[in-house]
Amino acid sequence: MTLDTIKEVIERAKNIVIFTHENPDGDAIGSTIATYLVLKEMGKNVDMVIPVFPSTFKFLPHADEVLEKPSLEKYDLAIALDCADIKRLDDPTETYLKSETRLNIDHHTSNGMFGDLNFVNPVAPACAQIITTMLEYFKTDISQEVATCLITGIVTDTGGFRYEGVTSETFEIASEFLGKGVKISKIYKESLNNISKEKFEARKLAMNRIEFIANGKIAYTYMTKEDMKKLNVIQSDLDGIVEIGRDVEGVEVSIFLYETDKGYKGSLRSNDYVNVSDICLLFNGGGHIRAAGCTLPYSLEEAKERVITQVKRFIK
């Protein structure tokens, strides 16, 4: 898909809607608001839809303009950002499917190419980095607000510039944005470091429960709906738990299961050699090589047993 075709489609469209994946993270939200602001600046009528907006990202500019559902029945163009699979698109009204043209911009290896136009770069460390590159290609002026949203996506999806996917371009973007006056240290603090008391208690419980399996190469923990109710936390408050196990010496794969209406959601991370996206694909999920997820429509015991059996096959 050439960027020129995408440009033409955007130029022709009047009404545009932006969606992202369910349980949105910093990359999903940063990419969404940045794209919204750029399209608004171009004079488009734009809606950005995020049905459940996590409080962590309320600090972003224009976060209060995010809608819970689309304001129109039909749009000329619908854009899916940071979403590998149409099933995960947080679009309760199925407006994406009803739109005239569907664009899919993403960086997941497992992307299903579900758009009419697909711009997918699996080696980009964040969807926000792809958008930055696109804007540079289009010679679009990147305002301080847009840069703030984009760098939030990059900072969060790279775990603060720590992951393998980080490229020299990532630092070039960060450097350029710092030059524009973007407060990267504030963004880092707000989106990665600061946690609510509830989040802290959730991490504490999950941490206490960590089990080390397969000679310490697998870390496993879980949370039930009942725990979440007791702790007064929602799904987005559980971010960061799976990384606790991953960062323990000797662990190759960390698994975190938490209960949802559809059974247990599995969140997997690896360190060096296990492709967790391939493992999650076995359960109709997906993601990246070192970070992936899936839904396990089973009891806790069964979900645990099934996922650990698959992970063990890949452990050396």
Does 157 help bind Mn ion (rule: CB under 5 A)?
A: yes
Residue nearest to ligand 5GP (CB): 293
Shortest Å distance, C-beta 270 to Mn ion:
17
CA–CA gap between residue 219 and residue 315 (Å, rounded): 12
Contact criterion met (CB below 8 Å) for 99 and 76: yes
Can you say how many angstroms the Cα of residue 97 is from the centroid of all Cα atoms in its chain? 21
Does 239 help bind Mn ion (rule: CB under 5 A)?
A: no
SS (HEC) of 227-272: HHHHHCCCHHHHCCHHHHHHCCCCCCEEEEEEEECCEEEEEEEECC
Chain residues in the site for ligand 5GP (CB under 6 A)? 21, 84-85, 88, 108, 110, 267, 285-288, 291-295
Shortest Å distance, C-beta 228 to ligand 5GP:
15
According to DSSP, residue 65 is labeled G
Does 127 help bind Mn ion (rule: CB under 5 A)?
A: yes
Does 90 help bind Mn ion (rule: CB under 5 A)?
A: no
The one of Mn ion, ligand 5GP, none whose footprint includes residue 165, by CB under 5 to 8 A per kind, is: none
The one of ligand 5GP, Mn ion, none whose footprint includes residue 88, by CB under 5 to 8 A per kind, is: ligand 5GP
Tokens 């995960």, located at residue: 88
The one of ligand 5GP, Mn ion, none whose footprint includes residue 290, by CB under 5 to 8 A per kind, is: none
CA–CA gap between residue 155 and residue 194 (Å, rounded): 14
Nearer to ligand 5GP, 25 or 190 (CB): 25
Nearer to ligand 5GP, 16 or 83 (CB): 83
Nearer to ligand 5GP, 95 or 295 (CB): 295
According to DSSP, residue 63 is labeled G
Nearer to ligand 5GP, 37 or 279 (CB): 279
Does 190 help bind Mn ion (rule: CB under 5 A)?
A: no
- Token output for 124: 């980009």
Contacts of 156 (CB under 8 A, 6+ apart): 25, 26, 27, 30, 126, 191, 192
* Interface positions with Mn ion (CB under 5 A): 27, 82, 127, 157
